[in-house]
Chains A and B, each alone.
Chain A
Amino acid sequence: GAVVSQHPSWVICKSGTSVKIECRSLDFQATTMFWYRQFPKQSLMLMATSNEGSKATYEQGVEKDKFLINHASLTLSTLTVTSAHPEDSSFYICSAQGGETQYFGPGTRLLVL
């Protein structure tokens, strides 16, 4: 089946620094990728939809200047958490649209100290 990878799988950073998370579709091309955030024992919250070659579409309440998304190619989207703070600590999951199905990455756990 289709494989989506994320890197890094976990990251610890100091408050005020920026963190970049990569999402790659390994064996298929994805015009559209999605970024989700998941709090402990909760469902996934869609943050933004990333379209190759155009600006991302952010969900209501998500700060676009804080969560920068770049979809540079048909196999790569990046999420940069700028000036991270402890409240940004979470599990970030990406997915890539392959046909009718979204394929999810394994997630990136971010801890901001």
Chain B
Amino acid sequence: GDSVTQMEGPVTLSEEAFLTINCTYTATGYPSLFWYVQYPGEGLQLLLKATKADDKGSNKGFEATYRKETTSFHLEKGSVQVSDSAVYFCALRSGGYNKLIFGAGTRLAVHP
């Protein structure tokens, strides 16, 4: 079945460091891909999305490119801030179904 694999955390970075969180997927057909962020004690917020191959989703300095050839959707940010500390979830939605399949989540901690 469809699945999402994320790099394990926690990821600990200093402020202004470069961030990459790896995400790969297995799916039949052509899924839509998402990154959600969860701040402590809160629900999930959509960070960015891409619906077809080679699309780049971007928001708040974060970006991810839908790579069909490598079945990947890695999240990147050039310069992280302390306020980016949260858990990041990669997810896919298979065509024709609204169900989201989530990765395990990656906890990011950014220190001043």
Question: Is there contact, CB below 8 Å, between B46 and A101?
Answer: yes
Q: Is B42 an interface residue (CB 8 A)?
A: yes
**CB within 8 Å: A-B pair count:** 50
Question: Is there contact, CB below 8 Å, between B89 and A49?
Answer: no
In this complex, the interface size class of chain A, counting residues with CB under 8 Å from chain B, is 20 to 34
How distant is the Cα of A100 from the Cα of B57 in the complex, in angstroms? 14
Which of B12-20, B75-83, B99-107 is the interface stretch?
Answer: B99-107
Residues of B with C-beta under 8 A to A101: 34, 46, 49
Q: Name the residue among B41, B89, B107 with the largest chain A CB count within 10 angstroms.
A: B41
Residues of A with C-beta under 8 A to B104: 42-43
Known: A43-B89, A43-B103, A49-B98. A105 touches B43 (CB 8 A): yes
How distant is the Cα of A113 from the Cα of B43 in the complex, in angstroms? 23
Query: Which one of B51, B98, B103, B107 lies within 8 Å of A102 (CB-CB)?
Result: B98
Question: Is there contact, CB below 8 Å, between B46 and A103?
Answer: yes
Q: A34-B98, A97-B98 are in contact. List 19 more A-B contacts (CB 8 A).
A: A1-B46, A4-B43, A41-B107, A42-B104, A43-B89, A43-B102, A43-B105, A46-B99, A46-B100, A93-B44, A95-B100, A100-B32, A101-B34, A101-B46, A102-B93, A104-B43, A104-B46, A107-B41, A107-B43
Binding site for A on B (CB under 8 A): 32, 34, 36, 41-46, 49, 51, 89, 93, 98-100, 102-105, 107
